[in-house]
Structure 1
Amino acid sequence: MAESVLSRPDVPVADPPAPAGLADFADLARAVLPPEVWDFVDGGSGAETTLAANRRALDRVAVLPRVLRGVHAPSTRARLLGATHALPVAVAPMAYQRLLHPDGESGLAAAAGAAGVPYVASTLSSEPIERIAEAGGAVWFQLYWLRERGLVADLLDRAHAAGCTAIAVTVDVPVLGRRLRDVRNAFAIPPHVVAANLPAGRDDLAHAAVPGVSAVAAHTGEVFAPAVSWADLEWLRARTDLPLLVKGILDPRDAALAADAGADAVVVSNHGGRQLDGAPATATVLPEVVEAVGDRCEVLLDSGVRGGVDVLRALALGAHGVLVGRPMLWALAAGGRAGAQTALDLLAGEFTDALTLAGCVDPAAARELRTILVD
């Protein structure tokens, strides 16, 4: 039997090939992350049916390209919330990014700034919002509603003072979804990674490993308000003059209510399949949400986006833009800020190719494309 290369110390093992597309970063990240951290990033809630549905729904969307349009070098620039960005894309809010790489949130924010796309900083960032905002580029602040209204007001004041250009309030976490991988792993955040935007000591529960318990769920159950209402959204709208996004919308009726309450955008999101298992895929409900809000606010798609073709699909279904989540964490894990920059460069290239092949001169033209659903 031939001897395996892996068993011969005199034969060097080749480095893994450079990523050719955004999705390639998944294997690179899995190779370097501890299994329990990979599960924390990759997993969904319950049986992970909604997690899987997000991809299936996007893959079912076939875009009908236009031809003979004379398109050779389309523009990828798009307006989101009154500002022009290099792509109709923002980096989604994701917690504890120093868990993936020491570059953490400031590294990913710097990569987003260099790519010309907004970075959405989470309330549960492992670096303070002030440091993230200093990394450059447009930073939106994602707000989780905390039990103490004073802390919510303080976070808003800090976001304003740091120069954030929008506020994104997440509304689909009355409690954290039951994420079984984390429960089985008794997953806890290591002590060197903290919720840097919260007062010191407020995240102690997140570090306490208990068999059969997700420490992250225990922590959020302690600090998050479980019964946020439309009245709270009205308070928030009155508290900030910044553009306001409402993230976590699935029912078109809620989208209409958010627009009525003064939201500048709604984000159609099932939290990446990490909240209510059995909720629909975001691409499935997106057209109904777009119809429900009309021209009263913008609509963005979150959950399941894995490349430039998915951005095109979302636009063709009526979205103004998308939030990209897990692939950016994979890239951060694999190569820090440089890895994230490579991923965003690849995404820009993928989206440019998709626009060209679809006969679209720019993202606005992509919103005029027709789609059909295929099996």
Structure 2
Amino acid sequence: MDLKTIKEEARKKFNNFCRVCVVCDGRACAGEVPGMGGTGTGESFKQNVRALSDIRLNLRVVHDVLEPDTSINLFGINLLTPIMGAPITNASLNCGGGLTEFELVSSLVKGCHDAGSLGWIGDPAIPSMFTDGLEAIKLATRGVAIIKPRVDQGEIIRRFEDAIQAGAIAVGIDIDGAGLVTMKLKGQAVGPKNISKIRELVNSVSVPFVVKGIMTPDEAVACFDAGANAIVVSNHGGRVLDFTPGVAEVLPKIIKAVGKDAIVLADGGVRSGVDALKLIALGAKGVLVGRPLITGAFGAMSEGVKFIIEKYTQELYAAMILTGCKSIKDIDSRIIFEK
């Protein structure tokens, strides 16, 4: 198996919903939502990729780092890599239907698990698709479930309970989905959550709680004050609000506000292991990958997802040697070139 073959097979199944570009940067699919693109002009999606691309690294080779350790412990689970699969849903609406929902989500979660990583599932407006995600977690024996910020708190909590029963090691909400019209059209209105509502959700579960979709320091602090165990810095892949900054741009300010010990993950524009290294150097404890893993799934199911995660991890490993980092904890801002 190789990346070229995976991409060729994926291109056949995408029905032009994704062009499988040489660089997945949002230019070819701008405005294609539903679809794989970014909302409006696509600038939020494109800026995620650009912001990472603009970061330069210090090459360091006078040291004794021969075999760096890429492993992390997250939510009490030992992972071989800090590179995980982002929550992804709706194979038919967004990806052209070349795979069924269960084929897509099970490939994502199983592929991540087989690579020693962790797959996350999402929560679309169609209940059966969430059920598919739960079944994928059961098969992989672990995962993280992220629920839409429904106005009805009880609906969220019921989904938490189902996810934990299925084997989710952590749950949370993707609060950046607060303006999704598709949810409202399906009779499942979503909206923002204040501190008290987040705290209610945190207190409803006994597993780690994650708030995904944070892009400002003040809201990051607010989430941790409400009891969240982790946050994910994310603009929903550029799919909800046009003209946001890139994740790599806001991450350092968020880390400064919440402290280096806080569990802050980053999701936005990761296209290589070097991109993962950059986000970790900016303060993230781990990263989530979205669109490239969809290509992996469409190209070779779980084996394709496993291939991408392992490829990125190998790139991270090599980059750690060339920047003098013995472990993930050793990766910090000293490897970033300051102009």
**TM-score normalised by the shorter chain: which range applies?**
0.7 to 0.9
From 34, 50, 61, the equivalent of 2:15 is 34
- Secondary structure of residue in 2 paired with 1:66: coil
Q: Which amino acid aligns with 1:225?
A: V
Which structure has the larger Rg?
1
Superposed counterparts of 1:57-136, under 5 Å: 57-97=51-91, 99-102=97-100, 103-124=103-124, 125=129, 127-136=131-140
Percent identity of the aligned residues? 28
Partner Cα distance (1:50, 1:131) in 2:
32
Name the SS of the counterpart of 2:57 in structure 1: strand
The 5-angstrom pairing of residues 195-234 of structure 1 reads 217-221=181-185, 222-234=187-199
In the alignment, what sits opposite 2:245?
A: 280
For 1:316, give the aligned amino acid: A
Match of 2:223 in 1: 258
What amino acid sits opposite 2:283 in the alignment? Answer: G
Judge which range, 252-261 or 225-234, deviates more. 225-234
Between the aligned partners of 1:96 and 1:63, the Cα distance in structure 2 is 37
Which residue does 1:152 correspond to in 2?
156
Pick aligned residue for 2:212 from 244, 247, 254: 247
* 2: CA distance, partners of 1:30 / 1:126: 26
Root-mean-square deviation (Å): 2.2
Residues 167 and 56 (structure 1), Cα distance of their counterparts in 2 relative to 1, 3 Å cut: same
8 Å contact kept, 1:44–1:51: yes
Cα distance in 2 for residues equivalent to 1:126 and 1:263: 23
Given that 1:328 and 1:343 are in contact with CA atoms closer than 8 Å, whether structure 2 keeps it comes out as yes
Q: Which stretch shifts more, 279-288 or 331-340?
A: 331-340
Alignment of 1:248-327 (within 5 A): 248-295=213-260, 297-327=262-292
Rounded Cα–Cα distance in structure 1 between residues aligned with 2:134 and 2:146 = 14
Cα displacement string for residues 250-294 of structure 1 (whole angstroms, at most 9, x for unaligned residues): 110111111111111111101111111111100001000011101
The aligned residue for residue 3 of structure 2 is 19
Residue range with higher mean Cα deviation, 100-109 or 245-254: 100-109
Q: Which moved more, 1:362-371 or 1:314-323?
A: 362-371
Q: Which amino acid aligns with 1:280?
A: P
Q: Separation in 1 of the partners of 2:154 and 2:240?
A: 26
Q: What is the deviation of 1:28?
A: 5.1
* Structure 2 length-normalised TM: 0.86
Q: In the alignment, does 2:166 pair up with 1:162?
A: yes
Structure 1 residue ranges without an equivalent (≥5): 1-16, 177-216
Q: Which moved more, 1:228-237 or 1:277-286?
A: 228-237
Contact 2:8 2:299 in 1 (8 A): no
Deviations 1:341-364 (A, max 9, x none): 221221221111111121211111
1:299/1:321 contact within 8 Å kept? yes
* CA shift in 2, pair 1:108/1:273, >3 Å: same
Match of 1:206 in 2: none
Cα displacement (A) at 1:33: 1.0
Contact 1:75 1:361 in 2 (8 A): yes
Per the normalisation by structure 1, the TM-score is 0.78
Unaligned ranges ≥5, structure 2: 20-31
Q: Residue 18 of structure 1: CA displacement?
A: 3.0
Q: Which moved more, 1:242-251 or 1:30-39?
A: 30-39
